[in-house]
């Protein structure tokens, strides 16, 4: 691939780290060197003796570590980048997901990824240079499929935030276009879709945006494209013929939420043609919520609403009564605006689906076809 990297918006690393296996072939060296040239002021550290998750950022304070990680771009090789998820204790289907990147440069205060073990101990922003090997692994898994199946990019990272640096979409989209049964689902908050628009995608790449109303984004999301910018990117991708989805998550029922989310849904559904919308609320880990509280203070609206104790899957959520009230209201609004639109719920429990009379929708969500 001959791609000329461009700066990634909302990302200006002060440190670049090269780890084991990332600088071996001429192609890898050219790739990394071209990205280093985009950030001439960044300090480049060579640590070919350690793997990608072993770089020490030199802090024991979780918040300091978190921000040091978000200012560090690390190149590595990920040998097990393709995985089949292993959710237990909620209604999520298991599915293929893959990681050409690790973590994310954006700064959402509610970010649950910050509390996952991989990120908690290694919160650098990662680009894995073995993209060809990762796609070979996907091709091998795809050769055993008997029906169209999704490979999801966006579970352990933002799927597009670093694309202007790596240009990976320009390899992945043609790869999936040629696949008989494998499909790409990519979740992002990025508004930079320039690499995507001229690709011959064959409808095999489904693009999904994570969104919230402007009022919620202003309060709980920093250093991230605005919802209007994201909707603008969706419109451009709709014009380029991509199938589109939206994930409204985490819905945060602050004062006046009914009006805030109604206006937002009217705007979103009136602006872009969606194939599916998935709703979700906070479902996080205590480690991530500690970082949320460091950023927003202990008395923040999310913490105040959270249920004491963990759910069966180890996550912390709002009380089920609140969740059902919020879903009922928003689902009614969506049905009124677009009666045929598929609606999914993300990371929910069986009792929630039952209370909403949506048991038939279990397993219809963003991560699967
Ligand atoms: S975009 Fe996603 S992964 Fe990135 S900070 Fe926000 S919630 Fe976390």
Query: Has residue 92 got a pLDDT over 90?
Result: no
Query: Has residue 58 got a pLDDT over 90?
Result: yes
To test the pocket of ligand 1, the residue of 9, 71, 108 to mutate (highest count of ligand atoms within 8 Å of its CB) is: 108
- For range 284-295, the mean pLDDT: 93
The pLDDT value given to residue 269: 98
CATH architecture of 15-361: Alpha-Beta Horseshoe (3.80)
Q: Give the residue from 37, 58, 33 showing the smallest Cα distance to 46.
A: 33
To test the pocket of ligand 1, the residue of 111, 116, 292, 347 to mutate (highest count of ligand atoms within 8 Å of its CB) is: 111
Q: What is the pLDDT of residues 124-144, one digit of tens each?
A: 999 999 999 999 999 999 999
| CA distances for 228 relative to 115, 210, 224, 272, 361, angstroms | 28, 12, 11, 12, 29
The fraction of the chain above a pLDDT of 70, given in percent, is 100
The pLDDT value given to residue 312: 87
The pLDDT value given to residue 201: 98
CA of residue 161 to ligand 1 center, whole Å: 10
The pLDDT value given to residue 113: 93
Is residue 231 within 8 A of residue 271, CB to CB? The reply is yes
Query: Has residue 87 got a pLDDT over 80?
Result: no
The pLDDT value given to residue 1: 66
The residue length of the chain stands at: 369
Nearest protein CA to atom 8 of ligand 1, as residue: 111
Q: Which atom of ligand 1 is nearest to the CA of 106?
A: 5
Whole-number Å distance between alpha carbons of 258 and 326: 8
Q: Of 2 and 331, which is predicted with more confidence? A: 331
Nearest protein CA to atom 6 of ligand 1, as residue: 108
CA of residue 112 to ligand 1 center, whole Å: 8
**Least confident stretch, 39-53, 121-135, 301-315, 338-352:** 301-315
Average pLDDT score over the chain: 96
The pLDDT value given to residue 27: 96
Whole-number Å distance between alpha carbons of 316 and 309: 7
Q: What is the pLDDT of residues 235-281, one digit of tens each?
A: 999 999 999 999 999 999 999 999 999 999 999 999 999 999 999 99
The pLDDT value given to residue 129: 98
- For range 186-199, the mean pLDDT: 98
Query: Has residue 213 got a pLDDT over 90?
Result: yes
CA of residue 28 to ligand 1 center, whole Å: 27
The pLDDT value given to residue 2: 81
**Least confident stretch, 88-92, 254-258, 336-340, 349-353:** 88-92
The owner of tokens 């990394």 is 32
The pLDDT value given to residue 116: 86
The model's pTM is 0.97
Q: Give the residue from 258, 249, 223 showing the smallest Cα distance to 332.
A: 258
The pLDDT value given to residue 135: 98
């Amino acid at each position: 691939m001959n791609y000329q990297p461009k700066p990634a918006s909302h990302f200006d690393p002060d440190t670049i780290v090269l780890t084991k296996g990332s600088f071996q072939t001429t192609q890898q060296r050219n790739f990394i060197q071209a990205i280093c040239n985009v950030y001439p002021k960044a300090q480049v550290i060579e640590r070919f003796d350690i793997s990608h998750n072993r770089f020490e950022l030199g802090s024991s304070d979780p918040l300091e570590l978190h921000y040091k990680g978000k200012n560090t771009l690390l190149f590595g090789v990920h040998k097990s980048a393709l995985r089949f998820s292993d959710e237990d204790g909620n209604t999520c289907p298991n599915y293929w997901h893959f990681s050409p990147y690790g973590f994310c440069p954006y700064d959402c205060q509610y970010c649950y990824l910050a509390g996952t073990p991989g990120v908690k101990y290694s919160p650098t922003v990662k680009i894995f240079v073995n993209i060809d090997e990762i796609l070979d692994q996907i091709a091998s898994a795809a050769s055993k499929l008997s029906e169209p199946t999704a490979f999801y990019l966006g579970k352990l990272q933002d799927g597009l935030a670093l694309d202007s640096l790596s240009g990976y979409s320009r390899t992945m989209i043609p790869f999936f276009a040629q696949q008989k049964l494998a499909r790409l689902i990519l979740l992002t908050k990025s508004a930079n879709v320039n690499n995507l628009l001229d690709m011959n995608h064959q409808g095999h790449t489904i693009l999904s945006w994570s969104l919230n109303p402007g009022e919620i984004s202003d309060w709980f999301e920093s250093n991230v494209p605005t919802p209007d910018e994201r909707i603008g990117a969706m419109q451009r991708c709709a014009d380029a013929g991509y199938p589109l989805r939206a994930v409204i998550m985490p819905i945060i029922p602050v004062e006046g939420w009914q009006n805030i989310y109604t206006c937002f849904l009217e705007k979103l559904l009136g602006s872009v043609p969606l194939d599916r919308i998935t709703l979700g609320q906070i479902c996080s880990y205590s480690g991530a919520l500690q970082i949320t509280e460091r950023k927003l203070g202990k008395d923040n609206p999310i913490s105040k609403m959270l249920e004491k104790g963990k759910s069966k899957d180890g996550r912390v959520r709002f009380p089920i009564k609140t969740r059902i009230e919020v879903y009922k209201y928003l689902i009614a609004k969506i049905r009124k605006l677009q009666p045929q639109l598929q609606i999914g719920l993300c990371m929910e429990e069986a009792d929630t689906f039952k209370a909403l009379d949506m048991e038939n929708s279990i397993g219809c969500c963003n991560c699967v076809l």
